[in-house]
Amino acid sequence: MQNFLSFSVRFAAIFSLPTILLILSIPIRPASAGNEFSACIGGLVDSGVSPEQAGEACSDALVPEELAECVGTIRGETSIEAEDALSACYRVRRPNDMAECVVDIHADALNASPAAQSDSTKDETKSSQAPSSSPPTEVDTDSPRPTELEINQDEEMSPSLMALDSCRRSLFPERHASCVLALSQDIPANSPAKAMETCLSAEDFPRELFPAYSND
């Protein structure tokens, strides 16, 4: 009888240990952190996006949390409006890379440019002269989807929006930012706007710039 009990104890210990280790290895995810869509909506609303647009954008995003991070980064480091940031972040595959591109250009190229600082001062003056209050607006059910929000091309684009647009259109946002910074800082005659245009054109037409490397 004693031998049987000893055998049973050893048998239970052998087969229960792997089970216990397996259970302990399973990651426990908090319920509050489990809903990435809620985190996305909350992040966008905190950045200034309306709840309706935030819900629609997050529900259709490939990685909702990255979408919110992209908008939050741009809003926190630049003067770009939330809707413009959302439109750009929504339309790229690597939103965080694009956001870093915008922030780098804005911080190291635009802020160091006298022309950009002048434009920023004018924008702040216009904003300060605008009425402080406005009548409440009703929610428009026919408002465009986040992907349909476009920067007004009829008006002259501000340097910040130009940085947002060029980083969105670039296939390699980090490389694009490095190119813009180099051209605008190392070539005195180059403005940040000209640098962005040149670097973006180089991605679109590399063979025209470097025909020796063409395979044709």
Q: Is the pLDDT of residue 134 over 50?
A: no
The per-residue pLDDT for 65 is: 95
Q: Is the pLDDT of residue 216 over 50?
A: no
For 8-26, write each residue's pLDDT tens digit.
556 555 556 555 555 556 5
Q: Is the pLDDT of residue 126 over 70?
A: no
pTM for this entry: 0.64
Place of tokens 């990435």: 36
The DSSP letter of residue 172 is S
For 40-68, write each residue's pLDDT tens digit.
999 999 999 999 999 999 999 999 999 99
Both tokens assigned to 20:
């216990």
Asked whether 75 and 47 are in contact (CB, 8 A), the reply is yes
Q: Which residues contact 207 (CB under 8 A, 6 or more apart)?
A: 213, 214, 216
Q: Which of 39, 183, 48 is nearest to 105 (CA)?
A: 183
Place of tokens 């302990």: 24
Rounded to an integer, what distance in angstroms lies between the CA atom of residue 74 and that of residue 37?
20
